Structure 1
């Protein structure tokens, strides 16, 4: 009888700024899911876009995780030195006719909802620099997968367009890098925010084409302000506070945002006590299957 794979999860932030409360909820959800399953929890720094990643921000993020008691297994992986692995994947896709060079600019196709695939059969302008795109019109469609919170999902990747795999400036794109790294690190469970749910069809297409295993997916509701604005670095969400009392309260509120209903007296407990309670009581079934969650009030 085949034994189930040991659970391996990960948190993979982009070091474009320090973690904020929405980041904490995503990190905590992935951490608790791994620890409750008796599995491994890894950290990967997704720094494939250096212009967006100020020096030292990766160290800040790792310190923040440790401050909240979220300690990882194994060595942290950085994407900036993974060029050879990503190039192998791109070459494999190109050999299958699933990846192609594209010289078009965003301005040229701005009247279309998604890129219309003009370079699928040859470069529109061979004199221009090229990006590499994934053909979304080939392979089995629509793509379906099961989300542990939102159930069965069905999406045709062609409605999302031919996503970029490598940019014109020779930087690698998220979709390819995340699939290659998840496979190489043996990730069995991807726990992340709802805003990445519609990225899954491209990633499933890549996994099939590259003969990678399919991880299980759990997309967590996003934390939003009372005005419905997503907490994000782009929206200038404040960085997590690091004063001990504030850390305890933020961790408690993150448990509330994950619908885990922590007892009120836990809000003053040390992070180790809160995490011990949370691992023991972690329940995906308590999560409400909604796309977003309003920022909990301070206790």
Structure 2
């Protein structure tokens, strides 16, 4: 039986903080304990926010923590053609359509339709797509694309669920509400998720399932904030005919106020803690791992 394969997959859009350290160390420790492999993947599909200096810092910080990984490192920006093939596969199944509204136009549509009850939102808090692009005639879609209009390629969730509507995964960790064991996926909660955009031929949801399959990842160990994203990932794995890994969602490292650490809140980076004299063993203790 082949060894298990774990991965840590950060985005180079900021410096790593303690939350990243916990996830990376947990995956690395599990790989060592099980005789498995540990991979590092750079999820750099966002060309506007990802920067070379952040990527270089990822390698530096992980090496300082004592983490080693297999080479070569997979960088998502080098594999757009593969993601495009997956979108074309889903499109050929009649499950993808383009939408042309800007974010501002979508916000106006929602405001016009909110009459009392708030507009439904996905598990990340983003409003579900309210537009009618799905019903646009093919000629109109072709005309808009031919004119160079920006667009997003969306998964037609209703069409997908008409094919199959019950998906599960076995949770080996714990969800945000204590979910564990066999979990019923709820992809409908995400609405018509974006699979790609005109300027970027993929999305997080699509690229992560493609990469995990191509890299032979058997165990996805990640934070609870991604727990319900698994619903979309299970769905895409089913549609694309790729294997389902084992999922284990772990606790999040919080700040003094109890809020999840994130780059957007300027959480203290590992580089800053290193400059303050905190050793790698100290980082392990700070995130609740034994030396």
Pairwise TM-score range, normalised by the shorter structure:
0.7 to 0.9
TM-score (norm 1): 0.80
Matched, 1:145 2:177: no
User: Per the alignment, do residues 131 and 249 of structure 1 end up closer, same or farther by CA in structure 2, a change over 3 Å counting?
Assistant: same
Number of aligned pairs? 255
Where does structure 1 differ by over 6 angstroms across 4 or more consecutive aligned residues?
none
Tell me which residue corresponds to 1:119.
133
2:266 to 236, 240, 246: 236
Gaps of 5+ in 2: 111-118, 121-127, 175-179
1:25 to 16, 22, 27: 22
- 2:101 & 2:170 partners in 1: Cα distance? 35
Question: Which deviates more, 170-179 or 40-49?
Answer: 170-179
Q: How far is 1:117 from its partner?
A: 6.0
2:40 to 43, 48, 63: 43
List aligned pairs for 1:33-112, cutoff 5 A. Answer: 33-110=30-107, 111=110, 112=119
Post-superposition Cα deviations, 1:52-72, rounded to whole Å, max 9, x if no partner, equal: 112221111011000000111
- 1:24 & 1:198 partners in 2: Cα distance? 22
Post-superposition Cα deviations, 1:170-223, rounded to whole Å, max 9, x if no partner, equal: 352111111111111011110011111111111111111111000000011111
User: Per the alignment, do residues 169 and 123 of structure 1 end up closer, same or farther by CA in structure 2, a change over 3 Å counting?
Assistant: farther
Gaps of 5+ in 1: 263-273, 275-299
- 1:60 & 1:89 partners in 2: Cα distance? 31
C-alpha contact (below 8 Å) 1:141/1:156 kept by paired residues? no
Point out the structure with the larger helix share: 2
C-alpha contact (below 8 Å) 2:106/2:131 kept by paired residues? no
SS at match of 2:103: coil
TM-score (norm 2): 0.82
- 1:156 & 1:116 partners in 2: Cα distance? 19
C-alpha contact (below 8 Å) 2:80/2:201 kept by paired residues? no
